[in-house]
């Protein structure tokens, strides 16, 4: 016999997570950057309704595996705009994965992370979203932190900053 039990604490955590994911989905369906991604990638907005999104224990803040968006469970403690910033980034990858499904040839391994076309595209949408929701200054701060985290300096850093902020007005 199998008995399923959960403490009230775990039950509340599960409901909280489901409620948050519901809020994420609703925001995604109504977000102009998410719709822009679909339009520019020639995918209908139906993709926003169906793309799997979940929280899990993972090392990075977020990742996409076979078009499934996985958010680090610690992100649930962040502001909603920060969560959505990562969702927008991963949405780009989810569409890229679906578009390339079955084609295992990728340029990932032979390029630095911030030089990969798929990452540049995802960060550009992410930064545009961040600028729309939290303001241009916060988006620029985020890009600066990102470039420092990846140890870019000098002309490389300046060029990458311009590239990542290209969609911000």
**Range of lowest pLDDT (66-70, 75-79, 99-103):** 99-103
Q: How far apart are the two ends of the chain, measured CA to CA in Å? A: 61
Query: Considering the domain boundaries, does residue 102 fall inside one?
Result: no
pLDDT of 7 over the 70 cut: no
Return the half-sphere exposure (C-beta side, CA atoms, 13 A cut-off) of residue 83: 23
pLDDT of 108 over the 60 cut: no
Distance CA 119, CA 24 (A): 22
Asked if 20 and 83 sit in the same domain, the reply is: yes
Return mean pLDDT, the chain.
88
Check residue 94 and give its pLDDT.
96
With a CB cutoff of 8 Å and minimum separation 6, the contacts of 163 are 120, 124
Total domains in the fold of the chain: 2
Query: Considering the domain boundaries, does residue 81 fall inside one?
Result: yes
Asked if 121 and 169 sit in the same domain, the reply is: yes
148 token code pair: 């420092």
Return the half-sphere exposure (C-beta side, CA atoms, 13 A cut-off) of residue 149: 8
With a CB cutoff of 8 Å and minimum separation 6, the contacts of 31 are 84, 88, 129
Query: Considering the domain boundaries, does residue 6 fall inside one?
Result: no
Buried/exposed code over 145-159 (b: 16+ C-beta within 10 A; e: otherwise): ebbeeeebeeeebee
Distance CA 160, CA 15 (A): 41
Which residue range(s) make up the domain with 21?
14-87
Asked if 81 and 116 sit in the same domain, the reply is: no
How many other C-beta atoms can be found within 10 angstroms of the C-beta atom of residue 132?
Answer: 18
Asked if 71 and 116 sit in the same domain, the reply is: no
Q: Which residue has the higher pLDDT, 1 or 97?
A: 97
Query: Considering the domain boundaries, does residue 99 fall inside one?
Result: no
Asked if 25 and 75 sit in the same domain, the reply is: yes
Which residue among 40, 72, 87 closes a domain?
A: 87
Give the confidence band of 135 by pLDDT, cuts at 50, 70, 90.
Answer: very high
Check residue 28 and give its pLDDT.
96
Collapsed DSSP state (helix, strand, coil) of residue 72: strand
With a CB cutoff of 8 Å and minimum separation 6, the contacts of 39 are none
């Amino acid at each position: 016999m199998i008995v399923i039990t959960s403490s009230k604490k775990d039950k509340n955590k599960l409901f909280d997570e489901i409620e948050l994911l519901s809020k994420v989905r609703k925001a995604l369906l109504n977000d102009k950057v998410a719709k822009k991604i679909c339009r520019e990638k020639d995918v209908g907005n139906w993709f926003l309704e169906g793309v799997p999104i979940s929280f899990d224990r993972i090392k990075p803040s977020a990742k996409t595996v076979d078009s499934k968006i996985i958010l680090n469970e610690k992100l649930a403690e962040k502001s909603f705009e920060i969560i959505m910033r990562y969702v927008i980034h991963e949405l780009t990858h989810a569409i890229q994965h679906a578009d390339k499904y079955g084609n295992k040839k990728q340029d990932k391994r032979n390029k630095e992370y911030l030089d990969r076309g798929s990452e540049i595209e995802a960060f550009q949408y992410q930064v545009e979203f961040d600028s729309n929701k939290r303001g241009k200054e916060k988006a620029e701060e985020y890009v600066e932190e990102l470039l420092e985290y990846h140890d870019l300096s000098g002309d490389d850093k300046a060029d990458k900053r311009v590239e990542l902020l290209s969609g911000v007005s």
